[in-house]
Amino acid sequence: MIRLYYSPGSCALAPHMVLEEVGADFELCKVDLRAGEQKQPAYQAINPKGSVPALVVEEGILTENPAILTWLADDFPEADLGPGSDPFRRARFAGYLGFLASTLHPQMGRLLFNKEPSFDEAARAFQRDLVRSKLEILEHHLFHGPWACGERFTVADPYQAVFERWARQADLLDKHDFPKLNAHLDVVQARPAALAALTAEGLAPV
């Protein structure tokens, strides 16, 4: 049995959607980040980094979305959600996931979840502009459509949709400035697997 440790609406929504897509038999384990459950010994034993997602599989525990999503694509090959076997395509795919994980995610996190006293209105305005610049890179240079990596839906699409959801909820995803990203979010959220994951987390399309 696969177990996914998640917090509603977090980036763990991406592997949750993928698990639904591949029809996996899995168990959801909620981690209440606001209550600090990620700092408690029970979850620290699962992921000492204190973050979600964490995926428990037969071989052990996986953390970090690029690793989890790549494993899911490889372990459920019949779903055809990975980049394939070509080394260059796999490297490009890893680069795409890397941009989402190491560039877009931390910049959005600093804007949306920053509680430092020094994060005043000027700092917030600067960070909003920085996040928009990263979204512009995605809109104009990395994402070509209709899916994240071209003509086929892959595990990169739910991951990208997580940040598009956050951006739309924060009024950062203007439809005039980001038509491709808005269209992408809409089609991902309309998929039955995505709707099942959202419902299970007590969420709805945005």
Q: Examine the domain organization and report whether 34 and 99 are in the same domain.
A: no
What's the CA gap between 49 and 194, in Å, rounded?
A: 27
- Residues 51-64 have pLDDT tens digits of 999 999 999 999 99
pLDDT at 45 over 90: yes
Residue 19, pLDDT score: 98
Instruction: Give mean pLDDT, residues 103-127.
Output: 94
User: Residue 4 has what pLDDT?
Assistant: 98
Q: Assess whether 76 and 92 both reside in one domain.
A: no
Average pLDDT, the chain: 97
Give the Cα separation of 123 and 157 in Å (integer).
31
- What percentage of residues in the chain have a pLDDT greater than 70? 100
pLDDT, average across residues 18-31: 98
Same domain assignment for residues 92 and 18 = no
pLDDT tens profile 116-162: 888 999 999 999 999 999 999 999 999 999 999 999 999 999 999 99
Q: Is residue 66 part of a domain?
A: yes
Does one domain contain both 110 and 62?
no
**Reduced 3-state DSSP string for the chain:** CEEEEECCCCCCHHHHHHHHHHCCCEEEEECCCCCCHHHCHHHHCCCCCCCCCEEEECCEEEECHHHHHHHHHHHCHHHCCCCCCCHHHHHHHHHHHHHHHHHHHHHHHHHHCCCCCCCCHHHHHHHHHHHHHHHHHHHHHHCCCCECCECCCCCHHHHHHHHHHHHHHCCCCCCCCCHHHHHHHHHHHCCHHHHHHHHHCCCCCC
Structurally, the chain folds into a number of domains equal to: 2
CATH number of the domain encompassing residue 95: 1.20.1050.10
Is 205 part of any domain? no
Query: What's the CATH number where 33 sits?
Result: 3.40.30.10
In a domain, 67, yes or no: yes
pTM, full prediction: 0.97
Give the residue-averaged pLDDT of 25-54. Answer: 97
Residue 141 placed within a domain: yes
Residues 48 and 130 both lie in one domain: no
- Is the residue at 184 inside a domain? yes
Question: Which pLDDT band, with edges at 50, 70 and 90, does 115 fall under?
Answer: confident
124 within domain boundaries = yes
pLDDT for res 105? 98
Q: Within this chain, do residues 11 and 67 fall inside the same structural domain, yes or no?
A: yes
Q: Are residues 105 and 45 both part of a single domain?
A: no
Query: Is 101 found in the same domain as 150?
Result: yes
Whether 112 and 187 share a structural domain: yes
Q: What domain range includes position 146? A: 87-191
Q: What is the pLDDT of residues 61-85, one digit of tens each?
A: 999 999 999 999 999 999 999 999 9
Whether residues 19 and 74 share a domain: the answer is yes
